[in-house]
Amino acid sequence: MSPAITIEDLSFTYPKQNHPALRNLSGSMDQGQWIVLMGREGAGKSTLCFALNGLIPHFFRGRYQGRVRIGGRDPARTKVSEMARRVGLVFQDFEAQLFSTSVELEMVFGLENIGLPRGEMEARIQNYLKWVGLEKMRQREPAGLSGGEKQRLAIGAVLAMEPDFLVMDEPTTDLDPAGRQAVYEIINHWRNLGKTLILVEQDPDVVLEADRLWVLHEGELKAGGIPETLLREGSFSEQGLQRPALMQLFHLLGRPERPLTVDEAQVLLGRESPLSAEKNNQTLEGQINTGKVLVLADRVEYRYPQGGTKALNQVNLEIREGEFIALLGPNGSGKSTLARLINGLLKPTAGRVLVKGRSTTTFSPPEMAKEVGYVFQNPDHQLFARTVEEEVGFGPRVLGLEAKTIQQRVKESLEAVDLDGFEKREPFALTKGERQRLAVASMLAVRPWLLILDEPTTGLDYGHQRGLLEMLNRLNQQGHTILIVTHHLWVAAEYCRRCVVLKEGRVWLEGATRTVFQQEPLLKEASLVLPPIVQLSNRLDFQGLTATALAREIRS
C-alpha cells in the first residue's frame, strides 16, 4: 500500500527571512496513522502543518522547494479551499477561528462552502455535535462558550466536513486538563474511523498514545519512530524537549527502567518506606509563609456589567510578603478576574480588596503600578514602543523618574530577564518567548512588590517555559512576591509554595502546595489532573512534587 502522505525534500523560507523554516524534510505517513510532531519554538511544526493543507505556499508566500502529496493531491498546486475538503486544520487559537453567531451556523459554514444540500448538512450537524458533546448548545453563541467548548466546536466544524486527514496545531495548550481530556477523546474516536491524524503537541505524556512521533529541530526531521522507543532513548531531551517526568525520575535514581505510566512506576518502585506522619506534618506546615499581609480580599464578589454572570462569589484571600503562589482552576473559574481585582483593573461589586491596607478603588493607575505589576496572557497587548529600551522605560517615565534612574532600571530589568543586549531591537520582531520576557521586564522596571502573571507559559515551548519560570524563581528569591495564574499543575508543583484553587468563582481549595495536591479527588472535581510525578508521590506517601525532590526522598 502506498503511503497516504509523502513529503520529498521539502524546504520553505518565509519572506524576508534568511533561515529556512523547513530544511530538506522527507518522510511518509500511512493511512489511518496518528502522528505527533514535537519540537521547540521555530522547529517548523506549524510550517509543516500549513504545507499539508496548502496554506504554504498559497497564503504564506516564500521560497518553496520539494514536493508534498497528500491523498493523491499536491497542496502546492491545489487551492486551499479545495484542499479543505480533504485536509482539516484546527489551530491553537480557538477564539480566532470561530466567526459565526451560533454553534449551529459555525458547524455549517464549511458545509455551505462545499455546496452540500440542506438535508445532508442537517444530518452532519446532528452527528458531529454529538461527537464533540455540544448537541445541547446548538443555538448558543460561540462567544459565550467556555474555552474547552470553543475548541471542541472548532474541531467539530472541521470534522463535519469529513476530511480524510486531520491536522491539529497545538489544539490543547490553552485548555484546562478537563478540556484537554475531551479533545483527546475526540481524537481517539476519530482514530477509530481509520482516518489519519497529525497532531502538534508539547506534552510527552500524550505522545505515548500515538503511532509515530516526529521530532523536528530547526526545520529538520531529527528523529522519527515509535513514541515509546524514542522517549526511552536519551536523545529526546537533547532536542530541548520535555522528557516524561517518570523517566526523568528513574534516570535520577540511576535505574535502568524507563516507566511510562504511574502504575508502571509504582510497581517498579515497590513499597518504598514513607515518611512518618509526624515528619509529614512538619514539612507541610513549614512551607507556609508567615510574612506581612500585603493583599487582602475580603468576601469579594464580581459580576460582569450588563447582566453578566457572577464571576466571583464571596472570595477571601491573603497574599503575604515573599510568597510564590499559584492561582489554579479550570477555564472560566474566575482566576483572571480575581487577578484583575487585585491590581484594581476591576472593582469588586461586593466586598473589598485591600493592597497594603488600602482599598484598590482609591489607587490611581501610577500608584497601583508601583505596588502590583500585572503581566497579561498575551504580551502583544502590552507592547507598543519602537525599541525594547523604550518599552521597558515607559513605566518609569510615566512615574516621572529621572533619566538616569530610568536608564538604570531598564538595564537591571533587561538583565533580570536575560534580554540585555536587546535594547535597540524592535519588540514585535522578537520571538514569542522573548516578547513574554520583555513584558515581564517592562513590569519589573516599575519595581512592584507583587508581580501577577496571567498564564505566562501559554504558547511557549518547554525550554522557554522553564527559562521564564526559573527567572520568576530568581525574582522571588530577590524579594518579589509572585502570583501566577495557570492551569498547568506541574508549574505549581515545581515552583509555587502555596496554591489557591478556584472553581465556579469560589475558593475551592487553598493551602501549601503539598497539602492541596494531596486532595486528588477534590482537584479532579475542579477539572484538574495532577502531574504523574505528584500522583506517584501521593501513592507512595512521599512529599516530593518534582522528579528531583522525589528521587532525593526515595534515595534517603
Partner 1 sequence: MNIFLYSDGETLIHRLDPRTKLASLMFLFTLALLFNHPLYSAGVGLLVGLGFSVAKAWIRWWRFRWLLGLLFIFSGIIWPLTLKGFPVWWSAGPFQISREALGYGLAMGIRLVTFVSTGILFLSVTRNEEITQGLIRIKVPYPVAFALSTALRLVPTFVGAGATIIQAQRSRGLDLEKGNIFRRVGQFIPQAVPLLIYALRYTNFLAMALECRGFDPGFPRTWYRELKLGPKDYGVLAGGLFLIGLAVFVRLGLSLGAVIPQRL
Q: Which of residues 494-553 bind partner 1 (CB under 8 A)?
A: none
According to the binding rule CB under 8 A, does residue 100 interact with partner 1? yes
Among 2, 192, 290, 364, binds partner 1 (CB under 8 A): 364
Q: Which is nearer to partner 1, 54 or 177 (CB)?
A: 54
Q: Which stretches within 241-334 are classed as H helix?
A: 245-252, 262-269, 277-286
Q: Does 46 bind partner 1 (CB under 8 A)?
A: no
Residue of the chain from 194, 225, 366, 421 that contacts partner 1 (CB under 8 A): 366
Residue 234 is a binding residue for partner 1 (CB under 8 A): no
CB of 160 to partner 1, least distance (A): 10
CB 39 within 8 Å of CB 217: yes
Please, what is the end-to-end C-alpha distance for the chain in angstroms? 55
72: left (phi over 0), alpha (psi -120 to 50) or beta: left
Q: Give the cell for residue 155.
A: 474541531
CA 179 – CA 190 distance, rounded (Å):
17
390 or 423: CB nearest partner 1: 390
Q: Which is nearer to partner 1, 270 or 400 (CB)?
A: 400
Tell me if 245 sits within 8 A of 511, measured CB to CB: no
Positions 139 through 198 that interact with partner 1 (CB under 8 A): 139, 141, 143-144, 157-158, 161
Size of the site for partner 1 (CB under 8 A): 73
> Of the two residues 152 and 258, which places its CB atom closer to partner 1 in the complex?
152
Residue choice 297, 406, 430, 446 for contact with partner 1 (CB under 8 A): 446
Minimum CB separation from partner 1 for residue 485, in Å? 14
* Minimal distance, residue 79 CB to partner 1, in Å: 7
Residue 400: CA count within 13 A, CB half-sphere: 2
CB 410 within 8 A of CB 463: no
Closer to partner 1 by CB, 229 or 309: give it. Answer: 309
Specify the residue, 330 or 395, whose C-beta has the smaller distance to partner 1. 395
Quote the CA–CA distance of 189 and 27 in Å, as a whole number.
Answer: 26
Triad 180, 315, 544: Cα angle to 5°:
55
Query: Smallest gap, in angstroms, from Cβ of residue 262 to partner 1?
Result: 38
Is position 438 an interface residue for partner 1 (rule: CB under 8 A)?
no
Instruction: By CB under 8 A, tell whether 340 contacts partner 1.
Output: yes
Cα–chain center distance at 3: 33
> Quick one: cell of 237?
531531551
Span of 69-77, 117-125, 192-200, 414-422 interacting with partner 1 by CB under 8 A: 117-125
Shortest spacing between CB 374 and partner 1, in angstroms: 4
Do residues 492 and 486 lie in contact, with contact meaning Cβ atoms separated by under 8 Å? yes
Q: Does 373 bind partner 1 (CB under 8 A)?
A: yes
- Quick check: 370 and 343 in contact, CB under 8 A? no
The maximal CA–CA distance of the chain, rounded, in angstroms, is: 73
- If the CB atoms of residues 435 and 488 are measured against partner 1, the closer one turns out to be 435
Please, which of residues 60-89 interact with partner 1 by CB under 8 A? 79-82, 84-85, 88-89
The cell numbers describing 185, all together, are 477523546
Which part of the chain contacts partner 1 (CB under 8 A), choosing from 24-32, 135-143, 191-199, 292-300? 135-143
Q: Which residue has the cell 478537563?
A: 178
User: How crowded is residue 430: how many other Cβ atoms within 10 Å of its Cβ?
Assistant: 18
Binding of partner 1 by 117 (CB under 8 A): yes
